[in-house]
Amino acid sequence: MIDDDAFDALHVLAHAHRLQGDPARAALLLNALDHLRPDAPPVLRALAASELAQGDPVAAMAALDRLALLGEVDAAFHLLRAQALVAQARPAEARLAMLAFVDQRSGVPELTR
C-alpha cells in the first residue's frame, strides 16, 4: 500500500508530466495510482485529461464513465467529455456536453484548465 503523501506526490508528478508535454508518462502514473486507489475522482479526472492529451478519446471516455458512476459529474467532467466526443467525431453529443459545461463552469477544478 502507499501512504497519502506518496500518493499525492505521484499525482502531482503526473500533472507536471502532462503540463510539460508528456501525457503518456502522466497516463502511466495515473493508471498506476488508479490501481492503488480505484475510483479516486481526482485521479480519474486527471487520467481522462491525460488520455485526451495523448490522443486516446476512448480511454478518456472510460475514465469519464467511471466518474459518472461515482456521481462526479461537474463542469470539468462535461468539458472533458465534450473534448472526447469531438475527438470521436460525435459533434451533436459534444455540443450538448459543452452546453452542460457552460451551465456549470464556475466549478472547474484547476487540474483541468
Count of C-beta atoms within a 10 Å radius of residue 42: 16
Count of C-beta atoms within a 10 Å radius of residue 61: 20
The structure's pTM equals: 0.89
Alpha-carbon torsion 23, 51, 98, 105, what sign? negative
Residue 55 is given by DSSP the state: T
CATH architecture of the domain with residue range 4-108: Alpha Horseshoe (1.25)
Tens digit of each residue's pLDDT (9 = 90 or more) over 15-49: 999 999 999 999 999 999 999 999 899 999 999 99
Tens digit of each residue's pLDDT (9 = 90 or more) over 48-74: 999 999 999 999 999 999 999 999 999
Are the CB atoms for 44 and 72 separated by under 8 Å?
yes
Count of C-beta atoms within a 10 Å radius of residue 67: 22
